[in-house]
Amino acid sequence: MLTREELASFHENGYILVRGLLSPEEAEEYRSESHALAARLSAQGNIDATWGSARAAVAGAQDTKIMHCHNVQFFSASFTRLLVNEKLTSVASDVIGSPNVQLHHTKMFIKPPEKGSPFPMHQDAPYFPHDRHSMIAAICHFDDAPIEKGCVRVVPGSHKLGILEHSKEGGWHLPFDQYPISSAVPCEAKKGDVLFFSYLTIHGSGINVSNEARTTLLIQMRDPEDPPSVKTHESRGQGMMLRGFDPLSTPRGVE
Ligand SMILES: O=C(O)CCC(=O)C(=O)O
């Protein structure tokens, strides 16, 4: 659970980096699972998820790559256990402001050494707007993410701006000149750290130019009483309860 000061900081800045939420051993296990999954999937096809806008926005991003898998809990039981980890869901509950925490989706990213793709600055909200803006992301770091590995960067306080107009070209993104990645605050992380931020918080990340991969799992969660404003971005597993219960459940959902 967060302290009163940490929660106030989240509300003021729109993000909080929780140090050592996972132990180094837990992080290492999830790192191995992530790389094993990426190897299995890569053997069957291309799992690069580099945004077209990343190539356009960032010098040096022309031949970068990022290995990716959506909804990893359908690929390995180890990730299912992480989703309901008490340490994770108790902080999620604090920042969402509800005892009930519902899954939206998960995304594993491996930024490979020397050429790991960047993400232009954006809010997540345009992808899947919700009426009460309770949606958060928790980025779990399975290895260290210093600046040179392309750590996540944020614009503190930007969650207070509401949903901004984005370009949809090559992935939703904000104007490159107005929001350069380099001017955002780097959230350098150690393995086991988890970065929580509102889906309204402007964020992005630079290229991994180091000689090690950057391995993360992004878990998007919401208050189950915060309905989607539009029917979009639906995926397998969406609506799974990670903590508490769904006060809006009806017999229609029972099969
Ligand atoms: O992992 C990162 O560097 C950023 C990911 C991100 O911004 C996103 O998936 O929306």
Ligand 1 pocket test, pick from 34, 58, 218 with the greatest ligand atom count within 8 Å of Cβ, gives 218
Residue 204 CA: nearest ligand 1 atom is 7
pLDDT at 241: 98
Residue ranges making up the domain that contains 148: 4-227
- Does the Cβ of 119 fall within 6 Å of ligand 1? yes
Predicted model pTM: 0.97
pLDDT at 157: 98
Task: Tell me if 43 is assigned to some domain.
Answer: yes
Domain count, the chain: 1
Task: Tell me if 12 is assigned to some domain.
Answer: yes
Provide the CATH number for the domain around residue 145.
2.60.120.620
- For the chain (length 255 residues), average pLDDT per consecutive 10? 97 98 98 98 95 88 95 98 98 98 98 95 97 98 98 98 93 92 97 98 97 98 97 95 95 64
* Residue 109 alpha carbon to ligand 1 centre in Å: 8
Beta strands in the chain (DSSP E): 15-18, 67-70, 101-111, 119-122, 136-141, 152-154, 185-186, 194-198, 203-205, 214-222, 241-243
Task: Tell me if 189 is assigned to some domain.
Answer: yes
pLDDT at 253: 57
Task: Tell me if 120 is assigned to some domain.
Answer: yes
Distances from the Cα of 127 to the Cα of 123, 204, 213, 215, 224, angstroms? 8, 15, 27, 23, 18
Euclidean distance between CA atoms 159 and 238, whole angstroms: 24
* Residue 252 alpha carbon to ligand 1 centre in Å: 35
- Nearest residue by C-alpha to atom 10 in ligand 1: 124
- Does the Cβ of 173 fall within 6 Å of ligand 1? no
- Does the Cβ of 49 fall within 6 Å of ligand 1? no
Helix ranges (DSSP H) in 72-157: 77-83, 86-96
pLDDT at 171: 84
- Does the Cβ of 166 fall within 6 Å of ligand 1? no
Distances from the Cα of 105 to the Cα of 47, 224, 233, angstroms? 17, 13, 9
| 136 bridge partner residues | 198, 221
Task: Tell me if 188 is assigned to some domain.
Answer: yes
For the chain, counts of helices (H) and of strands (E): 5, 11
Task: Tell me if 251 is assigned to some domain.
Answer: no
Euclidean distance between CA atoms 46 and 65, whole angstroms: 10
The DSSP secondary-structure symbol of 118 reads: P
Task: Tell me if 131 is assigned to some domain.
Answer: yes
Residue 141: how many other CB atoms lie within 10 Å:
28
